[in-house]
Structure 1
Amino acid sequence: MSAAIAGVFFDLDGTLADTAPDLAAAANRLVVERGRPPVAYDKLRPVASHGARGLLGAAFGLRPEDAEFPALRDIFLDYYEADIAVHTRLFDGMPQVLAALEAAGIPWGIVTNKIARFTVPLVAAIGLAPRASAVVSGDTTPHAKPHPAPLLHAAASAGVDPSRCVYVGDDLRDIQAGKAAGMITVTAAYGYCGDGDPPEAWGADHLIRHPSELIPLLMPAAIA
């Protein structure tokens, strides 16, 4: 990787922060209220990056076009909003990554498909709001990932050249968006990764299995 990295951007759910416990709790609250046994966390975690569509699909077998979906989605989102950061934490090793970027003077930011209604309070709750050079939500631009618009908006907000930026994400759409924006792409294989093709098949420039692997990858001193 070039030593001239201008900025690093992260997906939020499943890359920067482990949000699945709170998302799963909201989904299971809905499940239990309807007289069903809780859904195993291992079934809900892989789809956590896909929000209500993923969680309600795994918990109830519902699709967005199903008649029951809109009402359940609204309740689910209300439950999630009320307890958005009870168990959510940065992934192990990520605080050190952010500190290393800041020490090196490399701006970093967040680009998520989560809408601002949830992104803004969550980023504030986990203490990142004053530190991020850009926070782009799923409704910040007219297009969400895999379209490159959110990433290009983040680079513009941070005042950096997108061709000299890195995007780290745990979903195929993250890698697609990063490539379309002309950024170096890194698959966060420790994240949720969905239930489609394995992360190794996404075609990212790099793949990591723990956040700590980002430091030697990104820091100029570690680049040959």
Structure 2
Amino acid sequence: MSTSIRGVLFDVDDTLVDLRAAMASMFSELSAQWLRGHSAEARQRAAVAFAGDIHGRYERYLAGELGFGEQRAMRFVDALAEIGVAVPEPAVLEEWNSLYEAGISGRWAAFDDVGVSLDRLRAAGVRIAAVTNNVADYQRRKLSAAGLAERFSAVIGIEEAAAPKPAPEMFHAGARAVGLDPSGCAYVGDNPIADGEGARDAGMVSVLVDRGGGVEAPCGVTKVASCEAAVDFVLGRCSRVE
């Protein structure tokens, strides 16, 4: 392991937990009445539109322009519009949102390589925390549902810094949580801007996980294909690093 890296901070959604798959699955189940009669391709397109947040509703939530439930309902409407389905009545949207919130936690699951990767870091004496663009309690529930919570010494959410990622305050709060300077930490995430550039500009070793391929890493950011490969890099084994 590099002697300069004593802590690793992780993004949660789509780095540790396969949130897109969970969201797409939940959307498809709850939206069956609106998707009925559409082709398999159209149903898939709608699910991808919801999970992928095609109009950036979550960014508006982070900016304080939308509530958490409101941004989700708007994503539902966006997904239906993608295949030409009319907007449901407000009461229907509210019920859909409630059913979604009640069921989504049962679909939160870690990527297959995550548990063993975190255990390797802990065995090597590396301090681990999560830094996430959501409220900490919600993300703790997500990590718990995915069987990961006990591995983290801290979860830093958006309420604990002046601005969300890529603002440096989020990353610096994570470094403080593990008792290190930013220069002593690596950050592992999946978003090239919020995670990759944000961690780099905050003075950390920045590692971008691109599981599907095709994402361009910003200058100064190391791209890998999995959490396992990210840990290889942190521990000084670079055979699987791009």
Calculate the TM-score normalised by the size of structure 2: 0.72
Partner of 1:203: 219
CA distance 1:25–1:160, change in 2 (3 Å): same
102-111 vs 84-93, which deviates more? 84-93
Residue type of the alignment partner of 2:24: A
- Deviation of 1:81 (Å): 2.8
Q: Identity of counterpart residues, as a percentage?
A: 29
Describe the SS at the equivalent of 2:106: coil
RCO higher in structure (CA 8 A, sep ≥6): 1
1:32 maps onto 2:35 in alignment? no
Do the aligned partners of residues 73 and 177 (structure 1) sit closer, same or farther apart at CA in structure 2, a change above 3 Å counting? farther
- 1:149/1:211 CA distance change after superposition, 3 Å: same
What residue in structure 1 maps to residue 126 of structure 2?
Answer: 106
Q: Report the counterpart of residue 155 of structure 1 in structure 2.
A: 175
- 1-structure distance, mates of 2:94, 2:175: 32
1:167 CA displacement: 0.8
1:56-114 CA-to-partner distances (Å, cap 9, x unmatched) read 4761348xxxx98x988865653343123323322122212101110011011111112
Seen in structure 2, the aligned counterparts of structure 1 residues 139 and 182 have a Cα distance that, compared at 3 Å, is same
How do 1:24-173 and structure 2 match up within 5 A? 24-34=24-34, 37=38, 39-40=43-44, 43-44=48-49, 47=52, 52=71, 55-56=75-76, 59-61=79-81, 77-116=97-136, 118-172=138-192, 173=194
- Contiguous gaps of at least 5 residues in structure 2: 59-70
Decide whether aligned partners of structure 1 residues 95 and 117 sit closer, same or farther in structure 2, where only a CA change above 3 A counts: closer
- CA change 1:72–1:116 in 2 (3 A) is farther
**Alpha carbons of 1:181 and 1:88: their partners in 2 closer, same or farther (altered >3 Å)?**
same
SS of 2:188's equivalent in the other structure is strand
Q: 2:207 aligns with which of 175, 182, 186?
A: 186
More helix by percentage = 2
Question: Which string of whole-angstrom CA distances, capped at 9 and with x for unpartnered residues, describes residues 197-222 of structure 1?
Answer: x52243352111122212321115x3
1:21 Cα deviation (Å)?
Answer: 2.4
Call closer, same or farther: CA 1:201–1:120 in 2, change over 3 Å: closer
Note closer, same or farther for the CA distance 1:203–1:177 as it changes in structure 2 (3 Å cut): same
> How far apart in 1 are the matches of 2:48 and 2:80?
12
User: Would you say the 8 A contact 2:136–2:158 is kept in 1?
Assistant: yes
TM-score (norm 1): 0.77
Stretch moving more, 39-48 or 146-155: 39-48
> Residues 39 and 59 of structure 1 are in contact (CA less than 8 Å); yes or no, is this contact kept in structure 2?
no
Residues 23 and 48, structure 1, Cα contact 8 Å, conserved in 2: no
- Aligned partner letter, 2:168: P
Structure 1 distance, partners of 2:165, 2:29, is 29
Deviation string 1:99-148 (CA, Å, 9 cap, x unpaired) is 11100110111111123453121122223223202211233323111112
Assess, with a 3 A threshold, how the Cα gap between structure 1 residues 32 and 130 changes in structure 2: closer, same or farther: same
User: Cα RMSD (Å) of the superposition?
Assistant: 3.4
Q: Once structures 1 and 2 are overlaid, which stretch shifts more, 47-56 or 138-147?
A: 47-56
Give 1:22 shift: 2.1
Q: Deviations over 1:163-191 (max 9, x none)?
A: 11111111121112212211111111016
The number of residue pairs the alignment matches comes to 213
